[in-house]
Chain A
C-alpha cells in the first residue's frame, strides 16, 4: 500500500505498533515499521515477515513522528518494538514545546 490518506489507521506487520496518519504526502511512499511495510489496521500481516534487527528503535505512545521533508506525520496510538522509516529514511520524533494548560 502506497497511497496514504490523513486519518488512516495503520499497524506494523512485525510488532505491536499502531499508528494514525496525521499528515499524508501527496505522492507514493513506503512507510515501514520494523523494516516491513505497514498495513491497514484491519488487515492481517503477510506470512513470513519478521522484524529487521536494524529497525528496532521502538515507537512510543502519543509521540508524533515526521520525515525530513515534513510532509508525512504519524501518531503512535499503540507502542511497539519496531522503528519507523519512509523510503528507508528513519522518522524523527516531533519535538513539542510544552504549553501551559489553557482549558
Chain B
C-alpha cells in the first residue's frame, strides 16, 4: 500500500483534470505525478531520510506529499507559526533530511544545517525555484515503482501542542490508504467539482484532504491565507462546490455576510466543518445563510488519520426541523462513526464500557487508527483500541457527543468535572461572550475551578453574580471559586482554545 498507488490511478484515469490550483497556476493529475517523480529522484539521489516542508500551502505541497511516499521516506509538514527555537527542536528530529521552505527562511537558515557532531544534516531548498525545477519538461524522474509495504511511514505530523511539547504522530501508509479507501469512492467527483482548501498543511485535515481529493478526482483550490472576504470571493469566482472550514472560519464568514439574507454562492453544495467545537448558534445561522448547502460535521484526530465520525447533511436538516429535543440536540453532536470505525465509551477510572447516555473516555478502533508517536511506539491496547483522551458519550441511536479533553478534566475533591459543562452554563448568560474554565491547584480540594470570562460589548457584571448564575444551575462544587475577566482568550490558528495558556496565566497571576 502506498499513497502513490492512488495518484497513479488518478493520473491513469483522469490525468488531464486539474488536480490543484493556486491563484491562476494549476497542476493536472499527470503533472502532479511527473513532478513528484522528479522530486522523488532527487530525494533518492540525496539518500535523505525525511522530507520536511515549512511554508504556506502551495502547489509544492501535494508534490512533496507524493514524492516522499514514492521515495519511501516520511513527509513532515511543519507549522510556520512556530518560533525559530521551537522549529529547531522539530528539525533536529528530522535528520538527515531535506527542508523545503520560503526564500527568506532559506536564506536565514543557509544551505545546510549541520549538527554539532557534523554527522547529521538538513539541506535547505528555497521553494519557488525548486517548484519551477520540478515542473521542467524532461526533468529526470525516479523509476515508476515504490514500496508497497503497508508499514512504511507516510507522514509525521507534530501534534498541535495545546497540552505541551509537540510530539510527532506517525501515520503509516496503511493508515492513510485505509482512510481514503474507506471513505472515498474512486473518481466520484464530477469534472466541474472544485473544493476550497484553507486548512494549513501541517494540520491532519490538510493532509487528508490531499489524499481524498486525488482519489475522488476533484480540483482543489488552495487558499494559503484565510480571510472571510477572500474566501467568499474565491468561492464565487471559482464556482466552488465543496469546502471545509474550522469553526472560527465559519464564524468569520457569517460575520462578513452580516445583514445579508443569503450567501449568494449558488455553486456551493457541500460545506463541512471540524477541528474544534462549533457553537450551536454559528451552525444554525450558517444553515440559514446557505439554505441549499449540505452540512457535514467531521470529528477526528491526527492519530486517527482524520475523520472517524460524521454528522451528515440529513442529520443537520432533521435536527433543525425537529420539535423533539433529543433530535434537535444532535446538531451539536459529531454524528455517528464511519462504517469502518468502532467507538466505545469507557469509564475513566476502571475502564469498563459504559452504556448509552453515560460520559467517559472515547476509545476508537479501525484500520486508519495509528495511535503511535515517534520514539514512544504504539499507544493501541492489545485489542487495537486507541484512547483518544477526548471525553464523550453516545446517545441511544449511536450519535457521539464530545465533552472536551480528558486532560482538561478538573478533579475537585475526588469529583470529576468537564470544563465544558460549566462553560456552557456561563455562556447562556447574556453578559458572557466567551469563556474558558480550567482547574487550578487548590490546597483543600486538590483542584479548584477557575473561569476566565470575556464580556459582551458594553456590559459589566461582577464575579459574584456569575458565580450565583452557575450555582443556581449546577451543583455548588461546579461553581468557579475564581472568575477573571480578560479581553480575549488564546486560540490556535485552527480555532482550538489553548487551555494550557489559560492555566499558566492564572497560575502566574496567583
Contact = CB atoms under 8 A, between A and B. Distances in A.
Nearest to A99: B183
B150 interface: yes
A62 B187 contact: yes
Contacts of B8: 77
B310 A100 contact: yes
B313 interface: yes
Interface string A61-72: 111100000000
Contacts of B242: 101
B187 A61 contact: yes
Size range of the chain A interface in the assembly? 20 to 34
A62 B310 contact: no
A102 B9 contact: no
Given A7-B148, A7-B149, A97-B339, A102 B183 contact: yes
A98 interface: yes
B106 to A, nearest CB: 30
A77 B1 CA distance: 12
Contacts of B216: 101
A103 B12 contact: no
B306 to A, nearest CB: 6
A6 B244 contact: no
A80 to B, nearest CB: 13
Interface string B153-178: 00000000000000000000110000
* B contact patch SS: mixed
A6 B272 contact: no
B186 interface: yes
Contacts of A61: 9, 13, 186-187
B251 interface: no
B278 interface: no
A91 B133 CA distance: 46
A67 B149 CA distance: 23
Contacts of A96: 185
A29 interface: no
Contacts of A64: 181
A29 B186 CA distance: 28
Interface stretch (B73-81, B204-212, B394-402): B204-212
Contacts of B454: none
A96 B340 CA distance: 10
A51 B491 CA distance: 62
B150 A7 contact: yes
Interface string A57-94: 00001111000000000010110000000000000000
B390 interface: no
B307 interface: yes
Contact of B270 (A6, A22, A75, A101): A101
Interface residues of B, number: 41
B360 interface: no
Nearest to A79: B13
B5 interface: yes
A8 B148 CA distance: 6
A39 to B, nearest CB: 15
B174 A7 contact: yes
B298 interface: yes
Contacts of A14: none
A64 B244 CA distance: 27
A20 interface: yes
B489 interface: no
A89 B296 CA distance: 40
B338 interface: yes
Contact of B296 (A8, A20, A62, A101): A101
Contacts of B247: none
A96 B180 CA distance: 12
B185 A101 contact: no
A44 B271 CA distance: 48
Contacts of A100: 270, 272, 294, 296, 310, 312-313
A103 B5 contact: no
Nearest to B309: A102
A1 B5 CA distance: 22
B186 A102 contact: no
Given A6-B150, A8-B148, A77-B8, A103 B306 contact: yes
Given A7-B174, A9-B148, A101 B1 contact: no
A100 B242 CA distance: 10
Interface string A24-51: 0000000000000000000000000000
Nearest to A64: B181
B57 interface: no
B419 interface: no
A103 B205 contact: yes
Contact of A62 (B149, B185, B312): B185
A62 B10 CA distance: 10
B302 interface: no
Interface of A: 6-9, 20, 22, 61-64, 75, 77-78, 96-103
Given A102-B272, A103-B307, 7 more contacts: A6-B174, A7-B2, A20-B5, A99-B339, A100-B313, A101-B216, A101-B272
Interface of B: 1-2, 5, 8-9, 12-13, 148-150, 173-174, 181, 183-188, 195, 205, 208-209, 212, 215-216, 242, 244, 270, 272, 274, 294, 296, 298, 306-307, 310, 312-313, 338-339
